[in-house]
Structure 1
Amino acid sequence: CFEDEDIEHVVQNMGDIQVRRLPVLNRDKRLVGVVSLADAALKEDPATVGIAMSGVVVPGGAHAT
């Protein structure tokens, strides 16, 4: 995502591609940071973040130990 993108669009993108974190680039395509769903949860409507998380967090089966 880009540093000047709307957080709602970033959260939607995270859900679409099923990731919890995205690199943040400036318009010169230089890395300026990383944004996570947790970061977005602090800024965005909880329902919007919940929708994105439903696309990322998939219930798993038994875990190997």
Structure 2
Amino acid sequence: MSDNTIKEMETTILSFKYWMDEPGDDSMCYWSENHQLLFFTCAYVAGRYYDHELFRNSGLTGHS
């Protein structure tokens, strides 16, 4: 992958709305159990990988 593609992926991961209480409009479904599990798993994996980075939408680091 190109450096530009990797940077775009990182920006998407760090700016993603992982839960309904985070700011921003979307049409994602957070209510069903399978969606909750998917969003939680994505947030967990991203937080482990980017543990010292700031997640822009929540204002938290992956460590917090």
Max Rg structure? 1
Query: Common fold, TM-score beyond 0.5?
Result: no
Answer 1 or 2: which has greater strand percent: 1
When normalised by structure 1's length, the TM-score is: 0.30
When normalised by structure 2's length, the TM-score is: 0.30
